[in-house]
Amino acid sequence: MNTVEINKSIMELNYRKEKLQREVDEIQSQINFLASLRESQRPTEDDEDRIYKLSGQSLFDQMFGGTK
């Protein structure tokens, strides 16, 4: 393998590496988006309290000595 062939191979590998890095960056961006979406949909303490009260469990706990 001469110098020209080596340089060509290096350039091809660098091109492939950059292409793969762009794919990795895009996948990471999608992961970050989904993680932020998950966080925005996570119930807050107020939501959990409201769900607890609407579930009927609150009344049951009041009548039979539950924790809330």
**Residues 6 or more apart in contact with residue 58 via CB below 8 angstroms:** 52, 66, 68
Q: Tens of pLDDT along 8-55? A: 999 999 999 999 999 999 999 999 999 999 888 877 777 777 766 666
pTM: 0.57
Q: Give residue 68's pLDDT.
A: 47
Q: Give residue 67's pLDDT.
A: 57
